[in-house]
Amino acid sequence: MEDSNVAMYRIFAVCNGCGDLHTTETTISLSAGPVNTQSIADAYANKDPPAEVAALKGSRVHCYKIGRHYAQKDDNKIFLVPVA
């Protein structure tokens, strides 16, 4: 049986190199995720995030401006963006 409450999210993170928001080219599905774009820190304030969200810490971001990859470890700078 398929869960109709599961939503897809694209993952974006603030780049440590240039400060812009870049895609991590990762998507995840969550049954209890935020309705609007939110940082992991805000979406799961005062509670433990699901394992697939916790695994996003350290997500690699490719900065097309600088041409390097950076790992974002700050939950305030990793965003869950609902896929419309």
Integer CA distances (angstroms), 3 to 30, 31, 32, 41, 81, in order: 10, 8, 11, 25, 20
Give the mean pLDDT of 54-81.
Answer: 93
Specify which residues 83 forms β-bridges with.
Answer: none
The distance between the two most distant Cα atoms of the chain, rounded to a whole number of Å, is: 46
14 residue type, one letter: V
Highest mean pLDDT among 1-15, 52-66, 69-83: 69-83
pTM, entire model: 0.88
46 residue type, one letter: N
Which pLDDT score is estimated for 1?
Answer: 41
Per-residue pLDDT tens over the stretch 1-58 = 445 678 999 999 999 999 999 999 999 999 888 999 999 999 999 999 999 999 998 8
Integer CA distances (angstroms), 4 to 9, 30, 31, in order: 15, 11, 9
